[in-house]
């Protein structure tokens, strides 16, 4: 740095602190001294000062007996022993198995061990579980709305069917939009596939989980229960925050297992499926349900139940081609083609008959005219 005689000390300090020197310069009005601190801590991160021209640094930091500038304290690593394992870190903030330790001072000369206690951040876990339950309730609401919405009917008590081009030509754009919206409403009323998904989700949430310690734990045991039918017939969940917080503090591993435990049991027989379900946390249960509903594969047997019905929406050609709706549409197109072919053949046949009839009528008229002409001639003679 170049320091001019006209520079203010505050300007010099700002220039040092904003530079790439990697140090922070401070001043204590109590001691009347300046201090330079390395930004990077630990052994080897030492500060060396030298006046290349003049004696600015010497004047503010002083010199030692051997003419070194400033009273320099070399950086040191933090050394601690946890469970008989020595740990060396360049910072006084140390993370050990997810626990953050802030080292405030060294132990005494007797090196007496310091007891460390940790506490679960219950509120953060409560907030996470609450957000999950709210998302579940929203999902159940949406699915129930889908299967409970009935198909509307027109004034003549018939369903809103697709409009023909001729019908659209005689309607306003807003009327067409309203008609088509009504026609798409309630198409999944009482849909068995979606109702089965709803039942599986509810069963997954309300069934207990066998934890790693062999003990069962459930949502009800930690303060989360289904509302009564009279409160909410859709079966959404309610949370007792006080009970949930206490459960997290008393049994954090059990609560974690309830939501996140994975099962190594493969899907197979009915017995394997039951064992897998009982040892799964809610998260993996949901994963199995959604995979069974919306998994997309070129192999038809591996597709989810909804994909088998409706296809993948363009994600996978074979899944779309093999879907039941696609098959139904193909069958309808084939039937329309057959009907059209029969119509064309019948049309040709009737045209031929009409033409033959016209020919026969022309001959009949000709013969009738001839006969009348003959009768008229005989009568005149």
Q: How far apart are CA 283 and CA 261, in angstroms?
A: 8
Beta-bridge partner residues of 26: 35
Determine the pLDDT at residue 53. 74
Please give the average per-residue pLDDT across 45-53, as a whole number: 76
Determine the pLDDT at residue 291. 94
Q: Which residue has the tokens 């405030």?
A: 104
Q: Which band of pLDDT confidence, cut at 50, 70 and 90, is reported for residue 134?
A: very high
Residue 381 in this model has a pLDDT that exceeds 60: no
Beta-bridge partner residues of 353: none
Contact assessment for residue 129 and residue 244, using Cβ atoms and an 8 Å cutoff: yes
Determine the pLDDT at residue 164. 93
Determine the pLDDT at residue 176. 96
Determine the pLDDT at residue 369. 85
Burial of 129 from C-beta contacts in 10 A (0-12 / 13-18 / 19+):
buried
- Which spans in the chain are helix H? 9-18, 56-61, 122-148, 165-169, 173-184, 192-206, 241-250, 252-260, 270-279, 282-294, 305-310, 317-322, 324-380
pTM: 0.65
Q: How far apart are CA 160 and CA 151, in angstroms?
A: 9
For residue 88, the Cα-to-chain-centroid distance in whole angstroms is 40
Q: Which band of pLDDT confidence, cut at 50, 70 and 90, is reported for residue 104?
A: confident
Please give the average per-residue pLDDT across 227-256, as a whole number: 90
Determine the pLDDT at residue 91. 83
pLDDT above 70: percentage of residues in the chain: 94
Q: How far apart are CA 261 and CA 208, in angstroms?
A: 12
Q: For strands 93-96 and 85-89, give the pairing.
A: unpaired
Least reliable range by pLDDT among 58-72, 165-179, 207-221: 58-72
**Rounded alpha-carbon distances, angstroms, from residue 168 to 161, 173, 180:** 12, 8, 11
Determine the pLDDT at residue 1. 67
Please give the average per-residue pLDDT across 100-113, as a whole number: 73
pLDDT above 90: percentage of residues in the chain: 53
Q: How far apart are CA 134 and CA 241, in angstroms?
A: 13
Please give the average per-residue pLDDT across 227-246, as a whole number: 88
Contact assessment for residue 8 and residue 16, using Cβ atoms and an 8 Å cutoff: no
Angle at alpha carbon of residue 303, lines to 297 and 308, rounded to 5°: 120
Residue 216 in this model has a pLDDT that exceeds 90: yes
Q: How far apart are CA 44 and CA 64, in angstroms?
A: 21
Determine the pLDDT at residue 65. 58
Please give the average per-residue pLDDT across 183-204, as a whole number: 95
Q: Which band of pLDDT confidence, cut at 50, 70 and 90, is reported for residue 246?
A: very high
Q: Beta-carbon neighbour count of residue 356 at 10 Å?
A: 10
Least reliable range by pLDDT among 246-260, 301-315, 332-346, 363-377: 363-377
Q: Which band of pLDDT confidence, cut at 50, 70 and 90, is reported for residue 79?
A: confident
Residue 202 in this model has a pLDDT that exceeds 90: yes
Determine the pLDDT at residue 46. 78
Q: Which is more confident, 110 or 72?
A: 72
Residue 110 in this model has a pLDDT that exceeds 70: no
Residue 180 in this model has a pLDDT that exceeds 80: yes
Least reliable range by pLDDT among 36-40, 245-249, 325-329, 354-358: 36-40
Q: How far apart are CA 229 and CA 59, in angstroms?
A: 83
Least reliable range by pLDDT among 91-100, 183-192, 280-289: 91-100
DSSP code string of 264-278: -PPS-SHHHHHHHHH
Please give the average per-residue pLDDT across 290-302, as a whole number: 92
**Please, what is the angle between helix 241-250 and helix 122-148, to 10°?**
130
Least reliable range by pLDDT among 13-22, 139-148, 202-211: 13-22
């Amino acid at each position: 740095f170049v320091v001019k005689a006209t520079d203010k000390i505050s300007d010099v300090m700002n220039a040092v602190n904003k530079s790439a020197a990697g140090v922070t310069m401070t001043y204590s009005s109590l001691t009347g001294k300046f201090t330079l601190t390395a930004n990077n801590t630990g052994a080897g991160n030492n500060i060396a000062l030298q006046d290349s021209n003049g004696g600015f640094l010497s004047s503010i930091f002083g010199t030692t007996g051997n003419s070194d500038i400033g009273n320099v304290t070399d950086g040191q690593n933090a050394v601690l022993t946890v469970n008989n394992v020595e740990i060396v870190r360049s910072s006084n903030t140390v993370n050990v198995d997810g626990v953050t330790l802030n080292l405030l001072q060294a132990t005494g000369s007797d090196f007496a061990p310091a007891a460390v206690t940790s506490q679960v951040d219950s509120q953060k876990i409560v907030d996470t579980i609450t957000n999950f339950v709210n998302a579940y309730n929203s999902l159940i609401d949406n699915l129930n709305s889908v299967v409970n919405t009935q198909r509307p009917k027109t004034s003549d008590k018939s369903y809103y069917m697709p409009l023909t081009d001729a019908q659209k030509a005689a309607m306003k754009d807003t009327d067409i939009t309203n008609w088509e919206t009504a026609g798409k409403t309630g198409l999944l009323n009482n849909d068995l596939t979606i109702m089965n998904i709803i039942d599986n989700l509810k069963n997954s949430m309300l069934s207990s989980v066998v934890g790693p310690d062999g003990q069962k734990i459930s949502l009800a045991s930690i303060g989360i229960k289904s509302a009564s039918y009279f409160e909410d017939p859709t079966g959404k969940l309610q949370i007792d925050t006080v009970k949930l917080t206490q459960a997290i503090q008393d049994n954090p591993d059990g609560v974690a297992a309830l939501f996140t435990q994975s099962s190594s049991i493969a899907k197979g027989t009915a017995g394997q499926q039951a064992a897998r379900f009982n040892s799964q946390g809610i998260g993996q249960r949901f994963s199995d349900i959604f995979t069974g509903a919306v998994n997309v594969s070129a192999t038809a047997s591996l597709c989810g139940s909804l994909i088998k019905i409706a296809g993948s929406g363009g994600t996978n050609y074979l899944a779309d081609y093999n879907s039941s709706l696609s098959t139904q549409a193909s069958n309808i197109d084939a039937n329309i083609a057959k009907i059209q072919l029969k119509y064309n053949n019948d049309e040709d046949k009737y045209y031929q008959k009409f033409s033959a009839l016209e020919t026969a009528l022309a001959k009949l008229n000709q013969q009738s005219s001839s006969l009348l002409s003959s009768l008229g001639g005989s009568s005149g003679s």
